[in-house]
Structure 1
């Protein structure tokens, strides 16, 4: 039996983690859940699984180690669990509900919740945030059924529960979900002063030129460190469109210039990307001009969205920022983008 504390200590001893008092203080809450789930069924004629333990809502600033603690917790579990980004999970729920409605099912939440609870005992969500009214209107009923089926929910978030769906449309209909979260989950702040994500990028080269095998090898190493060797595709739904981030893990995505700027994406798409991500690795930015003016316009919009949301950027490009767009309409306006790309290379950028 490996406890969460055991695994954390082993990672510190191996040099993979730096000890952090706030993280260490959160370990007993995760261990409480792991230990309860590891209890065997009660003996007797009518064997019954123990009552599910209260879950955990772990919130705090970006880069404090919430996702890392979640990974450790899931690694120690002896029961079926699913570790998934909350936004991706909700997109799956909507897709399945849409399919069931087409098949004539009047209340698709019931079979969707049953399918989830039949497969797992623990749902480990990363980055719970609710900004979409379609999510806000179904999470309450969905989670009620998951809890009733014995699912244990452990989630991370950058927001305290009371700030979920803040200022959202018809928010009063969402308030019962906040009450449900506070009733069924222990709410705990991870109040570390350190941004460990920024520590990983601190002093690290984040803009590589020219693009090519050498730049790709260095970005591969950064990606491995930031993703811990795990990745999945994340599909964002924006106003009926799909925006695909081919490689994603824990708020970090890796995509090419072609993926994000050669496709017909607009400001709303880039704002959604900036909302979901904390780090974007953007590869193979070409030199731009009148021959690829539309791609250049999208690139400017993307950088503006990342800049305003203070998303950390790692990039490989054909040239230095000032030389990416030197001729054609908009070259003067591109000077602001070049300036922002320079600013985003600073050691204290992000968060």
Structure 2
């Protein structure tokens, strides 16, 4: 396995921090050791993790973290009262894979934290090598002090199953592009927009979510309806299957809203990036004011919204 040669063939000029991480990843892969690659946004974590995944032998599987969790939740709910439901669902989803890659692993919800711990336990029993990227070091997962202690067993499993490797170069490559490279990046942040004439209620996962309206594959939401009511990541994933152009209106300065609303907004952005959905934010505030203030844990969200702020 020549990871350095594989990455060099991509045509990208690598910085010193990336080269050092490549050497470390090569060493760990030679020992079949899982990798937890973490660091600030835009440093190339996903690029290097993908390259490592590419050179590892089959059978292997790369999954989107949100989509994987949605399907895991669904399968467990179908056999809620069966013994071993989590382990069985994990076996079905992972299949024969001996390598499983998660991109942008993060845990903010205490319920997902409990399930994540059980997922890691199941993967340990199956002997699966895990590759994961994250903006947070292992001890920074589920950072809310009210709930962090609940995930300490999960953090211990992360450290047991994966070697933490930090990528902390000085350059944020997300901000060095010109033309948009994805549908998400064609979005915009604006102060006004055309609104549909008729609101409607969307049936999502057996519940109603209020939309300001729809037009083909375009959907409009008010921030309050989408983020200040008990919607979930699974709801957003279902909606991206129908709508690939989202408008969210009345987006406030997030520091004026509670933690749950801020986290739902961050989850929306994560899901839309993963699904490559166009996003328009309608707000009286510029991006710095939307994200600014005394708000923890929104660095990734800010970085992603800067992509549309600079290209929209």
Q: How high is the TM-score relative to the length of structure 2?
A: 0.66
Distance 1:273 1:301 in 2: 20
> How big is the shift at 1:174?
1.2
Give secondary structure in 2 for the equivalent of 1:82: strand
> How big is the shift at 1:88?
2.4
Distance 2:184 2:5 in 1: 22
1:239 to 230, 251, 267: 230
Asked whether the equivalents of residues 39 and 168 of structure 2 are also in contact (C-alpha less than 8 Å), the reply is: yes
Distance 1:142 1:345, change over 3 A: closer
Instruction: Report the counterpart of residue 7 of structure 1 in structure 2.
Output: 6
Deviation per CA, 1:313-345: give whole Å up to 9, x if none: 555xxxxxxxxxxxxxxxxxxxxxxxxxxxx33
Distance 1:174 1:190, change over 3 A: same
Distance 1:112 1:23, change over 3 A: same
Asked whether the equivalents of residues 34 and 76 of structure 1 are also in contact (C-alpha less than 8 Å), the reply is: no
Distance 2:89 2:285 in 1: 35
2:182 to 223, 233, 237: 223
Distance 1:313 1:278, change over 3 A: farther
Instruction: Report the counterpart of residue 19 of structure 2 in structure 1.
Output: 24
Instruction: Report the counterpart of residue 104 of structure 2 in structure 1.
Output: 127
Asked whether the equivalents of residues 57 and 187 of structure 1 are also in contact (C-alpha less than 8 Å), the reply is: yes
2:247 to 237, 256, 260: 260
Instruction: Report the counterpart of residue 268 of structure 2 in structure 1.
Output: 273
Give secondary structure in 2 for the equivalent of 1:5: helix
> How big is the shift at 1:143?
0.7
Asked whether the equivalents of residues 127 and 158 of structure 1 are also in contact (C-alpha less than 8 Å), the reply is: yes
**How large is the Cα RMSD of the aligned pairs?**
3.7
Give secondary structure in 2 for the equivalent of 1:312: helix
Distance 1:74 1:301, change over 3 A: farther
Deviation per CA, 1:62-105: give whole Å up to 9, x if none: 0000000111112212212221232322222111111222xx42
Give secondary structure in 1 for the equivalent of 2:163: strand
Distance 1:96 1:168, change over 3 A: farther
Greater Rg by CA: 1
> How big is the shift at 1:107?
3.7
Instruction: Report the counterpart of residue 300 of structure 1 in structure 2.
Output: 283
> How big is the shift at 1:181?
1.3
Unaligned runs of 5+ in 2: 186-225, 250-260, 292-300
Distance 1:314 1:255 in 2: 17
How many residue pairs were aligned? 246
Instruction: Report the counterpart of residue 50 of structure 2 in structure 1.
Output: 71
Distance 1:174 1:90 in 2: 17
Q: How high is the TM-score relative to the length of structure 1?
A: 0.60
Q: Are 2:71 and 1:80 aligned?
A: no
Give secondary structure in 1 for the equivalent of 2:40: coil
